[in-house]
Amino acid sequence: MKIRVDDNVLVTKGRDRGRTGRVQRIFADKGRLMVEGVNIVSRHMKPNPQLRQTGIVQKELSVPIANVMLICPISNEPTRVGMRRLADGSKARTCKDCEEVIE
> Hey, where are the domains in the chain?
1-71, 74-103
Residues 47-90 have pLDDT tens digits of: 888 877 889 999 999 999 999 999 999 999 999 999 999 999 99
Give the span between the Cα atoms of 63 and 35, in whole angstroms: 7
Residues in the chain: 103
Residue 64 gets which letter from DSSP? E
Give the span between the Cα atoms of 81 and 69, in whole angstroms: 9
Question: Cα dihedral sign for 7, 8, 10, 14?
Answer: positive
Residues 32-45 have pLDDT tens digits of: 999 999 999 999 98
Give the span between the Cα atoms of 91 and 103, in whole angstroms: 11
Class of domain 1-71: mainly beta
